[in-house]
Structure 1
Amino acid sequence: MKLFTYLLALPLALAAPILEHRDKATVIPDRWIAVLNNDIESTQLESVLSKVTSHLQGTKPDNIWDFDGFRGFSFGAKGGLVETLASAISELAFIEPDVEVTTQEFVAQKNPPWGLARLSHREIDNSSYTYDSSAGEGIVAYSIDTGVYAEHADFEGRATMAKSFVQGEETDGNGHGTHTAGTFGGAKYGVAKKVTIVGVKVLSDEGSGYASGIISGIEWAVNDMEKRGKARKAVANMSFGGLRTSNANNAAVKAATDAGMFVAVAAGNSNLLAELYTPASEPSACTVAASDASDQFASFSNFGPSVDVVAPGVDVESAFIGGPHETAVLSGTSMAAPHVAGLGAYLLALEGERSPQDLCKRIRDLSTEGAVSGLQTLLTPNRLAFNGAKE
């Protein structure tokens, strides 16, 4: 995985800060993300963008984001123009480089699926998955990833590949998004077996994407949720990330949760503090670390106080691309997060709507405390996800 972080550059007097990137390999040359101050309303956006275009010498922003809690745009420009823009536009909160973001999985050998059984029992030695028949019915689950192979048999016609923000790619040619969607919503491999699955492609078939594209995908999902009237009845899975800080990515996730979308995110696969990663470091998201079939904390999993819960993430079998019955076994916090996205959908259908923050707390409260061995220290919660079956 390519890792990235930012440092705060010395800003011009009274200018919006320009965030500088430490790992040049992941920066998209001359590509930028600008986030507006929180007090900027939709009615002011057109005026701000007009000033931006003027200062960019006629170059127009190419992505414009306008949803409650997050307004901004992406654009192409050389460094000198960026400094001018930061100094001239008082409505700007900050500008940061557009960067590459990657998936959070490893490929592993084939083993039988086990994560669902573990999710529905307090004890480890069980081979059945016990769940209420509501099974996420009436809840919408967004796969913000490499896309979804909607024709897979495990989705039973409940999935759509709805929107792509990757130029020239309209389907899942990677498999990562299909796999994670299968874990949260497949008929055989999924936690919430009746959920409506919506694929939003923000990562390419190579498994990487731009932060600006991810923000566009989040905005689209929030708008779609609101059009469906599903606020507080929707979940999203985001199994990607990189080193902090992408302030824009975290801000977009917070805007989504504020709008009523429960967001499960992967803690990361670098055996480091999840606090160092985005969107794993976003407090409003439900951040998920990984364990294996013996309840051992995964050797690759990130850890720390940002982690909300641990879930199965090693040798997880799920739906895959290539045919309607194809499967693959993958490992990573990418595989752990959709167990919790599915659990969120399951609980919303079973217990009724609640805020994303309350839902993450409910998942923590239900979890089995002290079940995971080999857990990294530094205040990592030892809580293994559990669906509350038969309790």
Structure 2
Amino acid sequence: MYDLRILGLGIFALAAPTLAGTVDPLDLQDGDVVPGKYIVSLKPEIDVKVHLDWVTGVHRRSLSRCKTVGLEKTYGFGGFNGYAGEFDDDTIAQILSNENVLSVEPDKVARLTSVTQQTNAPWGLESLSSRSPLANSDLRGHTYSYDSTAGEGTFAYVLDSGVLTNNSEFSGRAIKGYNTWDTEPFEDNFGHGTHVAGTIASNTYGVAKKATIVDVKVVRGLGYSTVAHVIDGINWVVNNATGTPGRAAKSVINMSLAFSPSTALNNAVDAASAMGILSVVGAGNDNALASTRSPASASTSLTVGAVHWNRTRASFSNYGSCVDIFAPGVDVASLWNVEGIESVNSGTSMSSPHVAGLALYLKGLEDGLDSPADTIARIKELATPDVVVDAGIGSPNLLAYNGIA
């Protein structure tokens, strides 16, 4: 089973093998394998150009090549090298037998969905800044306490459905970064990405109210994505963040999405971490072990489960040893893809940006948090222990807290 979810309650994609044939990707269902499309990871320290030239030649010589596109995307950052493309069976057989290949996996589909209603005022920000339980479940009337540095000088790369970057709530702090879909308009048609970005850094709903949002569109339409596009997004982020001295240490990637386990995606997350860039991800919405999801199961990701206002683990939230921490993820109010509209969503899609914002807040406030490992350790150190009800077997009982006195 292969699953990608954009973790606003319901980003569900289970991928089961699909017979080859001409298929419009938009007709595929959650979790389907994209027919004929593959992601190839290469062994470290090989001559990547030589291998790519070889692949191109193999595809060109194949008698079935007219039915497939061949090489489409290449990835290269840190210790991670690979590519994605559409290949016929003969070409894939030769790729599988090549000594330079680490792994080959079919590309998979994910679709995003959300449970949405219009209302006001998040409770999650008070939860993040208080060790005491909330007095009630009201969406309004809560107090968020934070240092006025508010994540200034930090960057959140939001890999999602796009962001309404000109929303006045961002005060010019949201910019377009990269669109992995060549034929898709660089805008948020779904709303999910803007909601996530709002929780990270908007004026009203944001944890790190002075951080910069960088829009990296990996989801198109009403919630369709693939592993290949997510890795392409990570590839761009790493090259962008490391291209400016000091930026990697002040950056996080937020991925409010989840696939069934993908070696390539997990390796990409780990390679980004090795380059100094932390990935904060949702644990998943299956009420199951987070180890069954990628990138939640990546060894270096900061994986976030969801809780209600009363600190009870959400009934949908994944759990287990791959979860690092819990944060608000039920009835979370934030922005939408229309100026002036507020939406309320639930899912680990909503808990992840709380912690991504917290990571940026701390990076802007404290010294010594340049590495992903140091940032994760600090977030765990500050967390309120032993207050999450029914955290789940194997889960750390830690609730995110910003350390404000």
1:163 deviation in Å? 1.4
2:279 maps to what in 1?
Answer: 263
- Deviations 1:174-218 (CA, angstroms, capped at 9, x unpaired): 111110011011111000000011000001121120111111100
Residue 249 of structure 2 aligns to a residue whose secondary structure is: coil
Q: Report the secondary structure of 2:248's partner residue.
A: coil
Unaligned runs of 5+ in 1: 8-22
Q: 2:122 corresponds to which residue?
A: 113
Tell me if the contact between 1:108 and 1:330 (Cα under 8 Å) persists in the aligned partners. yes
Equivalents in 2 of 1:279, 1:250: separation in Å?
5
TM norm structure 2: 0.87
Change (3 A) 1:332 1:105: farther
Paired position in structure 1 for 2:32: 26
Structure 2 unmatched ranges of 5 or more:
1-10, 18-28, 62-68, 136-141
2:355 paired residue number: 340
Q: CA deviation at 1:57?
A: 2.4
* Secondary structure, aligned partner of 2:259: strand
Could you report, residue by residue, the CA deviation over 1:137-187 in whole angstroms, capped at 9, with x for unpaired residues? 111111011111001111011001221112322111111111001101111
CA distance in 2, matches of 1:362, 1:293: 23
How much has 1:39 moved relative to structure 2? 2.6
1:48 aligns with 2:64: no
What does the per-residue CA deviation read over 1:19-50, in whole Å, with 9 as the maximum and x for residues that have no partner? xxxx995100000111100233xxx2211111
CA contact 2:385–2:399 (8 Å) conserved in 1: yes
Amino acid at match of 1:71: N
Tell me by how many angstroms 1:68 deviates: 1.1
Alpha-carbon contact 1:289-1:301 (below 8 Å) kept: yes
TM-score of the two chains, using structure 1 as the length reference: 0.90
Paired-residue identity, %: 39
- Checking the alignment, whether the CA contact within 8 Å between 2:12 and 2:112 is kept in structure 1 is no
Paired with 1:24 and 1:369, the residues of 2 have a C-alpha distance of 36
The CA deviation string for residues 295-326 of structure 1, in whole angstroms up to 9 with x for no partner, is 11100000001000000000001111122x22
Query: Which piece of structure 1 moves more, 350-359 or 300-309?
Result: 350-359
Q: CA RMSD in A?
A: 1.8
Aligned residue number for residue 13 of structure 1:
none
Asked whether 1:129 is paired with 2:132, we answer no
Secondary structure, counterpart of 2:172 in structure 1? coil
Q: Secondary structure at the match of 1:62?
A: strand
Q: How does 1:73-112 map to 2 (within 5 A)?
A: 73-87=83-97, 89-103=98-112, 105-107=114-116, 110=119, 112=121
The 1:103–1:368 alpha-carbon spacing in structure 2 relative to 1, beyond 3 Å, is farther
From 305, 330, 346, the equivalent of 1:289 is 305
Other-structure match for 2:71: 61
Corresponding pairs, count: 368
**How far apart are the structure 2 equivalents of 1:122 and 1:5?**
41
Verify: 1:233 aligned to 2:239, yes or no: no
What is the alpha-carbon distance in structure 2 between the residues aligned to residue 333 and residue 311 of structure 1? 9
Which deviations, in whole Å up to 9, do the C-alpha atoms of 1:344-385 show, x marking residues without a partner?
A: 000001012321012111111111111111322x21111100
